[in-house]
Amino acid sequence: MTTTDNRVQLEKKGPLAVIRLNRPEARNALSPEMVAELGAAIKSCRGADTRAVLLTGTDGAFCSGADVRNFTQELDDGGPEGLSDHLRELADALHRDVVMGIRRLDKPVVAAINGVAAGAGFSLALACDIRVASSDARFLLAYANIGCTADGGSTYMLPRIVGQGRAMEIYLARQPIGAQYALELGLVSQVFEAPHFERHAMETADRLAQGPTRAYGRVKALFDGSWDADLATQLDAETEAIASVGLTRDFQEGIKAFSQKRQAWFQGS
């Protein structure tokens, strides 16, 4: 299955959905049409038949951010007001359909960063649950290079991953971050050598697709909700979640497998 015009490719491999950004001539930069297609691809992963998602790019790039050439055209055609309207519409679609789409998926989403992740591409990676990188991946917040503020949820996600001071430094420095330093910062959880990267990234996502999907989804929601909850509220949420997951077949299979000293066989239900 592939989305319209092939800007975003969606392939279902059993319970694993693989989404590939596919504008190699622009290093997978995000145009308004591409944001819409990416949002649609994410929405199509909501069904129970998909148990994990792998998000990556084609041709040696993850995503180089928004397509600045569109900004130039909007400025030429509509002046500053036209450009401002364009930025508002693009950010709104990116936030509503892509970032929140990823966060609201009740299953793990793996960002496989196979090259440059700049600007909104960096933000897109941060929105995912797990990030793995190729040894030749590069991260650049990039916005300050064009006198722009950051979007795509990066001002929320990045301070929570690396701390507020380091997040501000990354924005101000305007310098690319290599894969190994990204690993040290906690931006990614694993780095794989480039020739073997896609295989390892796919294996990582496929293992998640074979896991206890309902439990994964509930823990994802618990982690996201914890930032705005006090301890008592979070403990209540954990109680409700564990009581709910007790009704799932995966949990029942898990405790049977534990008692029988065998590998659990999860079905995502």
As averages over each run of 10 residues, the pLDDT of the chain (269 residues) reads 69 96 94 95 95 96 90 81 88 96 97 96 97 96 91 96 95 94 96 93 96 96 95 96 95 94 93
Q: Give 189's DSSP letter.
A: S
Phi-psi region of 67 (alpha: psi -120 to 50; beta: other; left: phi over 0): beta
Looking at 67, 97, 151, 250, which residue is catalytic? Answer: 151
Contacts of 225 (CB under 8 A, 6+ apart): 234, 237
* Structure tokens, 3: 């989305």
185 neighbors 157 (Cβ within 8 angstroms): no
Looking at 95, 106, 136, 200, which residue is catalytic? Answer: 95
95 classed as catalytic: yes
86 classed as catalytic: no
**Which pLDDT score is estimated for 69?**
84
| pTM listed for this prediction | 0.92
**Which pLDDT score is estimated for 3?**
41
